[in-house]
A and B are shown apart, each in its own frame.
Chain A
């Protein structure tokens, strides 16, 4: 039994070792990073522990020697973990259904944050989206299982929103404009959204705000951010019940959500399609 455990430990150690070597060799060329840069040290620690178990169970080397060598490796990893104070602030958030992982890495020296797509839970690749002028303060809100809104203040004092999207409401193969898909009037408690030939208007508690195309930024195929005076004001997203329809005048059964840009705690508001303008 101990032999089996020993060999399994050895194989796991070799597997983790190969992962580490592969990472070191290929991560620059393929622009791949660990989700958290400290994972590299933690994997080394786990690899060393498996190796120690394998050596203890499969060989007759004195325990003192094995444990001494392993201890020194673990001590080195521990020290490197403690002193590796890279200026990186990780913003990690798991979607409500546990299917998606949001990852932003903020370089606190350069005051920029980079958006990453994650793979296999531990690897991540940077995307071209870069958030500038970040201050270390981020508020993450999942408005759907595949839409995360990141609200953050910038060094210039403005409030911005970035939307990470992981899904689609159409066939999954074609691009579409969210603004065009939400044609019509949408109603929620104390708030109304109207998208017609004159543009996009939000009426909240009787006060109306208008947004033209230059102040609407689309993210993926699931959300748009409405901006005013260089700041984000609202994020509008397509809920999971929403189905992209080729006929914009058709009454839509699904809902959309509207989420206000503020650093205070707030929840997205669900809007229902009312009629065709």
Chain B
């Protein structure tokens, strides 16, 4: 027994010495998962807070300048827009990362929504974009004189068709929202009708030129409130969720529907106050009538 004790103690002493030296040689701090440091050490000093969007595409907001790279940090291209204009409106983050959904960054297109003060007071909302990986940048006016922004989202369904969803002028749990479509790759934008709802916008978008959705309800929603259009934003109707009884107060906030084969699917999350099975499990719903009615399929983990 004593020999066993001495053996264990010897192993522990040796391990303590080795691990202490390993620990001594470790870098100063654990890097943040939300703000990965560039793997290209040659460029790490230049862009230590790059945010990776795809393997080779990322952006940085360091030095109050928005820069993007399309080749894993070998070249950084400055986006000709002032950093603070990207965060105008109701935003309480730390400006270390762009507002989610307010930009898109891919090999084919980079585009960023921003607001510029107009001469008459209220801000104009613009989109700055490039389709040649930053060789040239185009600015397009989405809307003039929009009230203080809250929700903002831009995306393109294909090369030519894109959409912008904005909300603002929030008072308590009510706000104004607008939807804009472009059929010429973002050069011009036209406003379409919006659902007759003033609750806070949670998400939205189009799956093709005709079919679009806007999801409402951020502050303690009790059921999903998803509106759909089948005619490019001219008319909107509320979608019907066939919710199993046990999920009635659980899945309350619809996310953006997506096309899967010949049908649509949507994930409905639990909102900010959900606590069912940890609060992150979502309900998956399917629609075979272009989003008019939705049937529950299964619970899904958040990373599925």
Contact = CB atoms under 8 A, between A and B. Distances in A.
Q: Do A and B come from one complex?
A: yes
B148 to A, nearest CB: 5
Contact of B32 (A17, A130, A173, A213): A130
A214 B88 contact: yes
Contact of B23 (A24, A55, A217): A24
A224 B58 CA distance: 31
A217 B92 contact: yes
B13 A174 contact: no
A126 B34 CA distance: 10
A84 interface: yes
Interface centre among B8, B15, B20 (most CB of A within 10 A): B20
Interface in B256-304: 271-275
Interface string B55-94: 0000000000000000000000000000000001111101
Nearest to B2: A59
Nearest to B90: A213
A84 B48 contact: no
A76 B15 CA distance: 13
B35 interface: yes
A41 B20 contact: yes
A176 B219 contact: yes
Interface size class of A (residues with CB under 8 A): 35 or more
Interface stretch (A27-35, A139-147, A268-276): A27-35
A214 B89 contact: yes
Interface in B1-43: 2, 5-6, 8-9, 12-13, 15-17, 19-24, 28-30, 32-35
Interface in A176-214: 176, 180, 197, 212-214
Interface size class of B (residues with CB under 8 A): 35 or more
Interface centre among B34, B88, B148, B275 (most CB of A within 10 A): B34
A248 interface: yes
A128 B16 contact: no
B147 to A, nearest CB: 10
Contacts of A120: none
Given A61-B6, A175-B272, A213 B89 contact: yes
Contacts of A44: 16, 20
Interface stretch (A46-54, A93-101, A232-240, A251-259): A46-54
Contacts of A21: 15, 19
Given A60-B2, A173-B273, A31 B30 contact: yes
Contact of A51 (B12, B32, B33): B12
Interface string B132-151: 00000000000000001000
Given A54-B9, A76-B20, A77-B20, A173 B275 contact: yes
Interface in B189-229: 218-220
Nearest to A7: B5
Contacts of A173: 272-275
Interface centre among B28, B34, B96, B148 (most CB of A within 10 A): B28
Nearest to B8: A14
Given A59-B2, A59-B5, A213-B89, A174 B273 contact: yes
Given A51-B12, A126-B30, A213-B89, A58 B17 contact: no
Contacts of A174: 219-220, 271-273
Given A55-B6, A58-B2, A59-B5, A114 B29 contact: yes
B246 interface: no
Interface string A1-38: 00000000010011001001100100110011100010
Contacts of A62: none
Contact of B5 (A31, A55, A213): A55
A163 B295 CA distance: 44
B272 A48 contact: no
B92 A218 contact: yes
Contacts of B33: 31
A255 B15 CA distance: 55
A107 B28 contact: yes
A23 B49 CA distance: 26
Interface centre among B15, B30, B89, B90 (most CB of A within 10 A): B30
Contacts of A248: 172
Contact of B19 (A20, A69, A88): A20
B9 A51 contact: yes
A110 interface: yes
A173 B89 CA distance: 26
Nearest to B14: A73
A179 to B, nearest CB: 9
Interface of B: 2, 5-6, 8-9, 12-13, 15-17, 19-24, 28-30, 32-35, 48-49, 88-92, 94, 96, 148, 171-172, 218-220, 271-275
Given A86-B28, A109-B28, 4 more contacts: A27-B30, A126-B30, A173-B274, A180-B172
